[in-house]
Amino acid sequence: MSDFDWPTLLAIAALTVVTVITRSFFFISERDWKLPHWAERGLLYAPIAALAAVVAPEVLLLEGQLIDTWQDARLFATAAGVAWFFWRGGVLGTIVCGMAVFLPLRLGLGW
């Protein structure tokens, strides 16, 4: 075992220590932590922003470039899913509706 990589082991150990210490600050403190009002309000939008950051590029980009045609199944599936969500609500119905539009366009028309 002479080829043991000590720098890698040291890096893993150091990162483990830093992670444990930074995540333990909330438990080490003797008093409750209170976020400022503006931070609490901002965190309300974090899930929406994260979802938009993941979904928007998947719908609007093709190989890193904006799509340049309206004949893209993703556009119609997104529109159908959004319409379903505002009409009936619910995540499952939104996914089913979007896929019901996406699959025929992608498989049937080759979009």
The model's pLDDT over 80-91, given as tens digits with 9 standing for 90+, comes to 999 999 999 888
22 pLDDT more than 90? no
Amino acid at 48: I
Strand, coil or helix: 61: strand
More confident residue, 1 or 56: 56
Domains of the chain: total: 1
Amino acid at 100: A
pTM for this prediction: 0.59
Q: What's the domain range around 88? A: 69-111
Residue 40 domain-assigned (yes or no): no
Residue 80 domain-assigned (yes or no): yes
Residue 104 domain-assigned (yes or no): yes
Greatest pairwise CA separation for the chain in angstroms: 66
19 pLDDT more than 80? yes
